[in-house]
Chain A
Amino acid sequence: MKPESVLIIGSGPIVIGQAAEFDYAGTQACKAMREEGVRSILVNSNPATIMTDLEVADAVYVEPLNVAVIERIIQKEKPEAILPTLGGQTGLNLAMDLHRAGIIEKYGLRLLGTPLEAIRRAEDRELFRDMLAKLGEPVLESEICHTVEECESAARSIGLPVVIRPAYTLGGTGGGMAFTWEQLRAVSESGLAASPITQVLVEKNLLGWKEVEYEVMRDGAGNCITICNMENLDPMGVHTGDSIVVAPSQTLSDKDYQMLRSAALRIITELGIEGGCNVQFSLAPRKDVRDWEGDPAKPLPYYVIEVNPRVSRSSALASKATGYPIARVAAKIACGKTLDQIPNAVTQKTTAAFEPALDYCVVKIPRWPFDKFALGDRRLGTQMKATGEVMAIDRCFEAALNKAVRSLEVGGRSLLWERPEWRNGGEFSLEATDERLWALMAAIRRGMSTMDVSRTTGVDPWFVERLQNIVAMEKRLLTEHLDQALLRAAKRLGFSDEMIGQLADRLPEQIRNLRHEWDIRPVYKMVDTCAAEFDAATPYFYSSYESENEATPEPGAAAVVIGSGPIRIGQGIEFDYASVHAAWALQAAGLRAIMVNSNPETVSTDFDTSDRLYFEPLDDEAVRDIIENEQGEEPEPPASIVQFGGQTAINLADPLRRAALPIIGSSSETIDTAEDRRLFERFLQELGIPQPPGAAILTMEEAIKTAETIGYPVLVRPSFVLGGRAMEIVQNATELVTFVAHAFEAAQGKPVLIDKFLEGREVEVDAICDGQQVLIPGIMEHIEAAGVHSGDSMAVYPPVHLDDEEREVLRDYTERIVLGMGAIGLTNIQYVVLPRVPGEGPRVFVLEVNPRASRTVPFLSKITGVPMVQLAVSAMLGRSLASQGWPPGLWPEKPLVAVKAPVFSMSKLVGVDTYLGPEMKSTGEVMGIDRTFEGALAKALLSSDLALKPNAAVLLSISDRTKPAALPLIRQLAESGYRLYATEGTATMIEALGLPVTSVTKVLTGGHPNVVDVIADGSVQCVINTSEGRFTGSLRDGFHIRRTAAEKRVPCFTSIDTARAAIDALTAGASFDVATLREYLGQ
């Protein structure tokens, strides 16, 4: 049964609904295949993944995930089987596409994991209902609809409110709830548009019922087990990816638990899945919370809501919550093993055929992007909006919840946070939003009764009472004398030193000192899958204020890698990639690698990535406690590495230094030089390296004065913030005042930077330094002009437009900056290069220096073959680059071209403008790699859903400022056979060129067709829209164009440069190669 070779399909870029969990899953699967002696062939378009590392699979393709490319890989590699179930919904959809195209049959491939029939039965609503009926499972009242009219008729027979669920989408894209007939029409339309087969399910609304999930596994012999069950704190109505989730369930009796468990096992058996599966149920609530018909003395009514016939986000969570390696076991099952033949990697004594027993409580909280998208619709419903999640573990719910909130890293918010409006006696709502948890706390503080809270929200009274416990402790800390017993009780409920200090009127450090004086320190308990029944070998720990410590220090030198926390816009999977490599590099250097992270989706929190894993919040208190625990009785504490975990880790440099704890790599002084505007300016002046003129300011007066001195346009941004949050290009004083105020808020007391905005080519360089020499693996050039955040720009390696002199200047500047700053390890520098003036030298300005790993590390490591993180860690440990056999200077360019393109999740975030600017908006990235620029770009566009079909219709709405730049592009479009639509002004210009164009109005209240109509009804298949700035009319008009395009999934270019590059690539015929990374690298 064991296949000789398997093609594993990855999940592509990180988007809302499909995040880092599939890197974790794919990586585990490849490792498992290797153990089984199966040749693994991996394809994924996302370079920021461990799974696409050369060492993980036997052949790695970073190529677009479509049928044509997969067929070419199949022809080349001749795999015996294909495994799509570890690549999320992307993987399953691709498997279905391959089947429809006849590829699976044509090449005689075995489909591992989930039979095609099972995919259909789980995904197609009609077949799904038939299956449930066959099994005797309760079927929720619903109708399958293909038109808005059918939806209306269904809703009439079911009765409002209803839920609308599109078929074959991830994260519930396009679906939602409808309480009114207008809502019904709107949601039906978006749902039908989002479904690739134009099919939605209109379903009875179980708002307020409990939502419970089971993760189950089955092997080829039919053995079934449950890995974990999970209960959502948020009842039905909120997408499970947007719900606060608790494992195991808390309010289910054994009868309820076993009833649903048995149903889940019947379903996986009926579907014939060989691997993992996720089953979601809704279970009747208490009648005094939400009434329902039926006898409460009988088994509680339930419905099967959804089945994911594959490894999912929930399986990653279940894996981390239990310690059971679901993806690894699923891969081994795919290789033909049965559960009893697979050793339990955790206990190393028992087998994979058992069900984990938890002796702790796990809380997951989603991480939403509304700190970046203040204007987005914050309400939560059936469409997922979170970009990532955090998980925390403790011995009671309250403590796990408190730690999870600390892990979120939303402006340092604890559970004590309240919106200022709430505090001033203002009304606040308990409806489901990203802030509901805090609103619940606020309501309880104001005396709202448990039952009132439960009846209003549907949250089970048990959870509300637990929040009451937290509020009761708050009141004790506010009023009682802080003695040993009280402090200990507060710590056992998960209160941070900072929260206790805030309530008991002390500084956090004073609380810490009190704790030490009274010997109130956390102990660390193991996540061992078996509630301590067996001696386990897994080094996976969480803190708790209990009596016995299981994480006693082990002999040998160790270093602590600070991870990057939840995936959010601006701090994505790239930093987890770097953290994982840092741990591996430490191990390679003979040190014990200790990982600290709070993100359950990642490879870094996998049980065998590091020598010891602490699943903890990434804050001052938690990290110092861990370091103290690891120090034990030794004279010296272990050193920490802060340069791989993004801004999260870098922000810990200062607290660690103040606590006199050692950091290896760039010192916190170096970090300050880079981040403190005044120090940075002085530093560059001393080196004689130019930067755009500007200043760090703390008041509005300074801001206006600075802007006038340097002249508009200026770039406004807060210091010490990653991902360009609250960053804006402003053209005049009016805009300046608004955005500086916004930036002050984001800067949280730190200065705001105002710089002259230089319009040139943005260039990015990563460098590795050992203190003596600097290695520059490569230079990347951005395709978009300056002004678009580097994380949202397409970047190309090697640079296309830079001459040798410019490259030489970049090398020289980089070396001098890195050495001058004393940066050890990795540094990322962003430059702007202005067009050459005849007779003058290169004009290169430094925009930003970050003495840490950047988001380009995985991309650049893969395409240059330079093991950047490994070299950086070795350098940090004192090994010179020379002694590692790496010469200084610019690493020779490889004979390949790679384009990194951002991927957005805009269709999921209602109300958010898709316009690209200095604030980052993308959630993920893809890479196109080929021998030529056009090939690489075409692949990047294909992978990021920006591909243009030949002879498509394009809607143009071009601002006056960018019209000159757009002219050649428009001509090229017309000549290549594209049909043109344009808004009034743009149409006039096109007519003046003598080209045919259909004019549409921008005025939505006026006649038809307007811009929104032509996008919505499918008349155009591509949009090019540029605008001047946030306050001009064009940006407001453009908003509707861009929003509609995002919702209808029509490619929308907001930069002429990107559009031109895309058209160039696609009109050039878009022929490209399909090859492994090794082949491109010439290895």
Chain B
Amino acid sequence: MPDALLVLADGSVFPGQSIGVEGHADGEVVFNTSMTGYQEMLTDPSYAGQLLTLTYPMIGNYGMDAAVEESARIQPTGLIVREAATFFSHIRAAGGLSDYLKAKGVVGISGVDTRAVTRKIRRHGVMPGTVTTHESAEAAAARLRGYASYDDVNWVTTVTTDREYDWPASGESRLRIALLDGGVKRNIMRSLASRGCAVRVFPSTTRADEMLALRPDGIVLSPGPGDPRLLETMVAETRQLIGKVPILGICLGHQVAAQALGAGTFKLPFGHRGGNHPVQDTVTGRVTVTAQNHGYAVDAAGLDGAAYVSHINLNDQTVEGIALKTEPLMTIQYHSEACPGPLDNDGIFDRFVGMMAAVPGGVI
């Protein structure tokens, strides 16, 4: 007998088995097509407020390993899978998926035809849904009608750090970075730290002058969840930073910087979430495979004349990166830190380090 239900806003119901805690959780239902990296995805703050559907059907095969967590908690409101492995096998595994969800207090459902869910979202766009273990489908659907729109919530405030903290460089510290946290993933810090960067992480509400007071060699604008148009303060503060210090914007940070440079943003019908998106460098023509997780994209119309589109997505031609022609600023819509996903783009961090090193007096 089904002991959990996935109910979508369009009224469709998918019965399944509960794999997490009892209760219900609402969220914008999204899907990710990565075949590995479920724990990295579960702990990615960009999934705040969303119900995560994984298209790969067998999830949990290699168990759970705290070392790969990208943040301290499970970020999506719930997990939707075709099958949650009851048995896991890996040298690093310290527990199973279902126990993990339960320990972290998150709902989950297995036994769902996740391909059917994915096709629905592809056709009709992302939509609200709920995973519930204690209600009838009708009751859940009725409750969903009162669901506040995902787009109206400033999700960044729910995931950013509440106080600043330091992530030390591994080995000799050569550069100092101020990171504005909109929902950062740990591998961004790891990637910077391994390149001799000492990172100070600031809450999303931090003012530009507070960060500049650190006399950083560079600023990183982090990824994060939600509609970037709600982030007026971050955009305004970023405007204060441009031209003063080298800047790297990743995902949400890219959208924030783009807005600071006059561009707009819009919501994609069903987002880009996966580890297989081809991105082309508009200057070199080179294509790399990227990890992506975003529901909004930059509209380049209105972009400051000093900036140009540096990368595009080959699937739908959306903007994947911008750069300033003469100033040290680059942003990418995809995730150079991977985790999960291909490692092809960690050269971005090297480029950023190079960019910082090239600024006179930049080295501490």
Contacts and interface: CB of A to CB of B under 8 A. Distances in A.
B285 interface: yes
Given A533-B118, A546-B115, A548-B119, A355 B89 contact: no
Task: Choose among B35, B65, B339 the residue with the greatest number of A CB atoms under 10 Å from its CB.
Answer: B35
Nearest to B270: A533
B33 interface: yes
B87 interface: yes
Helix, strand, loop or mixed for chain B's interface? loop
A255 interface: yes
A532 B276 contact: no
Contacts of A252: 36, 62
Contacts of A546: 113, 115-116
Interface of B: 14, 31, 33-37, 40, 55-58, 61-62, 65, 67-68, 82-83, 87-92, 113-116, 118-119, 122, 274-278, 280, 285-289, 314-315, 338-344
Given A262-B343, A546-B116, A351 B278 contact: yes
B89 A223 contact: no
Contact of A340 (B31, B36, B314): B314
B357 to A, nearest CB: 24
Contact of B36 (A257, A356, A462): A257
Task: Choose among B92, B275, B287, B342 the residue with the greatest number of A CB atoms under 10 Å from its CB.
Answer: B287
B56 A462 contact: no
Interface of A: 221-226, 248-255, 257-258, 261-262, 265, 284-287, 296-297, 300, 338-340, 349-351, 353-361, 395-397, 460-462, 465-466, 525, 530-535, 546-548, 550
B314 A254 contact: no
A534 B122 contact: yes
Contacts of B89: 251, 286, 460-462, 465
A545 to B, nearest CB: 10
Contacts of B65: 253
Nearest to B63: A253
Contacts of A550: 119
A740 B56 CA distance: 52
Contacts of B62: 251-253, 462
A354 B277 contact: yes
Given A252-B62, A253-B92, A395 B274 contact: no
B287 A339 contact: yes
B116 A254 contact: no
B116 A357 contact: no
Nearest to A532: B118
A462 B275 contact: no
A284 B91 CA distance: 9
B36 A357 contact: no
27 contacts: A223-B288, A224-B344, A226-B342, A248-B35, A248-B56, A254-B340, A255-B68, A286-B90, A287-B91, A297-B92, A340-B280, A350-B314, A353-B280, A357-B274, A358-B35, A395-B115, A396-B57, A461-B89, A465-B87, A530-B33, A531-B33, A531-B55, A532-B115, A532-B119, A533-B274, A535-B122, A546-B113
A258 B345 CA distance: 12
Contacts of A222: 286
Helix, strand, loop or mixed for chain A's interface? loop
A139 to B, nearest CB: 22
Contacts of A338: 285, 287
A262 B83 CA distance: 28
Contact of A253 (B58, B68, B116): B68
B88 A462 contact: yes
A357 B276 contact: yes
A395 B275 contact: no
Contacts of B56: 248, 357-359, 531
Task: Choose among A225, A226, A254, A286 the residue with the greatest number of B CB atoms under 10 Å from its CB.
Answer: A254
Contact of B278 (A284, A340, A395, A533): A340
A258 B342 contact: yes
A215 to B, nearest CB: 14
A254 B339 contact: yes
B315 A350 contact: yes
B113 to A, nearest CB: 4
A248 B35 CA distance: 8
Nearest to B111: A492
B302 to A, nearest CB: 27
Contacts of B61: 250-251, 462
A835 to B, nearest CB: 66
Contact of A296 (B68, B91, B114, B276): B91
Nearest to B121: A532
A453 to B, nearest CB: 12
Contacts of B57: 359-361, 395-396
A356 B35 CA distance: 10
B58 A396 contact: yes
Contact of B341 (A221, A224, A258, A359): A258
Nearest to A228: B35
Nearest to A262: B343
A221 B122 contact: no
A265 B36 CA distance: 18
B82 A221 contact: no
B338 A258 contact: yes
Given A226-B289, A356-B276, 10 more contacts: A262-B342, A350-B314, A351-B314, A351-B315, A355-B289, A395-B57, A395-B83, A462-B87, A531-B115, A548-B113
Contact of A223 (B91, B119, B286, B340): B286
Contact of B276 (A221, A354, A548): A354
B278 A353 contact: yes
Given A354-B289, A531-B33, A532-B55, A548 B91 contact: no
A300 to B, nearest CB: 7
A777 to B, nearest CB: 47
Contacts of A224: 344
B90 A353 contact: no
A354 B116 contact: no
A359 B33 contact: yes
A353 B82 CA distance: 28
A357 B87 CA distance: 23
